[in-house]
Amino acid sequence: MDNKKVGLSDTTKAKTEPKTFRRNSIIGTKFTIAISSAKGGVGKSTFASNLALALKNMDLNVGLLDADIYGPSLPKLFSINEKPESDGQKLKPIKKYGIQCMSIGFLTDEQTPMIWRGPMVISAIKTFTQKVLWENLDFLIVDMPPGTGDTQLTFAQEINMDGVIIISTPQEIALQDVRRGIRMFDKLKVKILGLIDNMSHFIGDDGKKYAIFGEGGVKKTADEFKKDFLGEIPIDPEVGKQGDMGSPIVESKPDHKISKTYLKLAEKIKSIYL
């Protein structure tokens, strides 16, 4: 028997080899910013929704695209239970809290699993980026799914993304995947605006700081890759509570300390682009 070595190097190279892509801007938007992490469960959707609301509170026109085909969160986070209008060719975003919103979750039943192969996912992403009537947006915030698969590659290779914010919790198991995400965006020449340390710590009733998931890992990773560290967002039960109620904390409690953190970040994003 002829034993041959089987490797993944050729496949990996084919997917990530730097090349010149023809990237198109999303019609109706000035700037597109992706919220990403190669790890699931680190708070991307909560972050994306609150950042969008913080930018809206600065009198900007903002859209929010939920690009997680397999696990859409936007319908729950914004308590949207309706389907978008269509003229037969294009979809009209649903407006909630002053944000133009689109998600696969608006088009399917909440209990229906998305048992789709890659080409169907890519087709859905192209629909959301080419066939949605985004109206005069200053910023489109894109909530990316976890991983470094078809959705990320479609955006990175075909869409003119103006920046990516990478979210992570500080423990090493999450940062292992985050490093893969950073390398992917770097290879595909997509600008990384910086890293956010989400759920960085918890302040107990005793006033003490508890680093539940470890401490300093996200900043260390940012330094390792020479990326900006954009700050920490601590754990606060009110954030999850308001999200589950369909009214993210920046909308429901704009004076909350977490909301003020998002507003400061939104000011920084605005200053970069506008």
Residue 11 has pLDDT above 50, yes or no: no
**Residue, of 160 and 119, whose pLDDT is higher:** 160
Pick the CATH number of 24-273 from 1.10.287.70, 3.40.50.300, 3.30.230.10, 3.30.70.1880: 3.40.50.300
Quick one: pLDDT at residue 20?
59
Q: Which two tokens stand for residue 98?
A: 């002053």
Instruction: Report, as an integer, the average pLDDT of 223-227.
Output: 97
Which of 46-50, 70-74, 239-243, 259-263 has the least mean pLDDT? Answer: 70-74
Q: What is the pTM of this model?
A: 0.89
Alpha helices in 59-134 (DSSP H): 74-77, 118-130
| Neighbouring C-beta atoms of residue 116, cutoff 10 Å | 15
Distances (CA, A) of 212 to 144, 171, 209, 239: 25, 9, 9, 17
CA angle 221, 223, 225 (to 5 degrees): 70
Task: Find all residues with CB under 8 Å of 23, minimum gap 6, and list them.
Answer: 157, 158, 159, 160, 161
Quick one: pLDDT at residue 19?
54
Quick check: helix, strand or coil at residue 221?
helix
Tens digit of each residue's pLDDT (9 = 90 or more) over 265-274: 999 999 999 8
Strand 192-203 relative to strand 137-143: parallel, antiparallel, unpaired?
Answer: unpaired
Report the percent of the chain where pLDDT is more than 70. 90
Q: How far apart are CA 47 and CA 44, in angstroms?
A: 5
Instruction: Report, as an integer, the average pLDDT of 83-92.
Output: 92
Q: pLDDT band for position 122 (50/70/90)? A: confident
The chain-wide mean pLDDT, for the chain, equals 88
Q: How far apart are CA 187 and CA 18, in angstroms?
A: 6
Tens digit of each residue's pLDDT (9 = 90 or more) over 257-266: 999 999 999 9
Which of 3-7, 59-63, 100-104, 114-118 has the least mean pLDDT? Answer: 3-7
Tens digit of each residue's pLDDT (9 = 90 or more) over 173-219: 889 999 999 999 999 999 999 999 998 888 888 878 888 887 889 99
Which of 29-38, 43-52, 197-206, 226-235 has the least mean pLDDT? Answer: 197-206
Q: Cα Rg for the chain, rounded, in angstroms?
A: 19
- Cβ–Cβ < 8 Å for 55, 139: yes
- Read off the amino acid at residue 223: D
Residue 106 has pLDDT above 90, yes or no: yes
Q: Which residues pair with 109 in a beta bridge?
A: none
Residue 239 has pLDDT above 90, yes or no: yes
Which of 1-10, 14-23, 194-203 has the least mean pLDDT? Answer: 1-10
